[in-house]
Amino acid sequence: MVVQKMSIRSQFKMPKRLVVKIGTSSLIYPDGQLNLKTMDELAFTLSAVQNRGLEVVLVTSGAIGVGLDQMHLTKRPVEIARQQAIAAIGQNELMAILNQRFASYSQQIGQILLTHDVMDYPISKKNVLNTFEQLLLMGAIPVVNENDSVSVDEMDHLTTFGDNDQLSALVATAIDADLLIILSDIDGLFDADPHTCTNAKTIPLIDEITEAVVNLAGGTGTRFGTGGMVTKLKAAKRVINAGHQMVLANGEDPKIIFDILAGKSIGTLFAADC
């Protein structure tokens, strides 16, 4: 048997403050069942990382996916109000499961529901940042999702409903996190959509989001995911512009975070050339 030694990234900087975003496609199986294994491993890994002295924030999707399961629905409804109602049901259950899993590792969590435009208003931004700082000071892990029942794509709301990739980048840059890890159902950024192109290969390092890079991105590959690669690249651009790093990796086993933090060459690292 040939054991391949994974190479260590020379560009990777060990973070002090980490944001991890996990997508619906990692939390819900393709048949709509909840992926309790991943949820448990996520709680274990983040608790262990926090326990070793890193400040950790979790941005989690899954409210709609969990809500569909709760309501025994197989399809996401088209009507926005129905999606919002299902998210309201699912968010409760999602937090109940996460709370229980984190509690089993003696890790306190605190829920923060955000809309993308919160950071545009100085007073709401200050209040939100104060909440993050206090939770982190208390050793708690802030658990963030979009406030789905008030997020709509119209008038004074500036972004589309349901984009936690960009929300995670917004949070990461606002709280000055050194690293954003986006966990999805794919191993990284591929040179073509891996679900439609069998020869597609992962790209280990991207130092700039050029037009050519943007052109590699397709939409979501699952019934439950929303943004696909397009929103992940927008997130990467925001993080790179703020002088920080982002890693996109497969969230099937969140213990992969230990290897990412050890600098191993896993997934795609987005980092500007120093």
The binding site for ligand ADP (CB under 6 A) comprises 23-26, 61, 184-186, 189-190, 192-195, 216-218, 220-222, 225-229
Q: What is the DSSP letter of 72?
A: T
Has 268 been labeled as part of a binding site? Answer: no
Choice between 136 and 186, CB closer to ligand ADP: 186
Supply 91's token pair: 């968010």
> Residue 254 binds which one of ligand ADP, ligand VHF, none, with CB within 5 to 8 A depending on kind?
none
How many residues make contact with ligand VHF (CB under 6 A)? 19
> Residue 162 binds which one of ligand ADP, ligand VHF, none, with CB within 5 to 8 A depending on kind?
ligand VHF
Choice between 157 and 195, CB closer to ligand ADP: 195
Q: Give the integer Cα–Cα distance in Å for 17 and 175.
A: 9
Q: Give the integer Cα–Cα distance in Å for 110 and 244.
A: 25
Supply 173's token pair: 């840059």
CB of 23 to ligand VHF, least distance (A): 4
Has 61 been labeled as part of a binding site? Answer: yes
Q: Give the integer Cα–Cα distance in Å for 42 and 104.
A: 12
Has 160 been labeled as part of a binding site? Answer: no
Tell me: does residue 146 bind ligand VHF (CB under 6 A).
Answer: yes
Q: Give the integer Cα–Cα distance in Å for 125 and 132.
A: 11
CB of 168 to ligand VHF, least distance (A): 8
**Long-range contacts from 155-162, C-beta under 8 angstroms, 24+ separation:** 156/117, 157/115, 157/116, 157/117, 158/116, 158/117, 158/120, 159/116, 159/117, 161/80, 161/83, 162/64, 162/83, 162/226, 162/227
Q: Which residue is nearest to ligand ADP (CB)?
A: 23
Residues that bind ligand VHF (CB under 6 A): 23-25, 61-65, 87, 145-146, 148, 162-165, 225-227
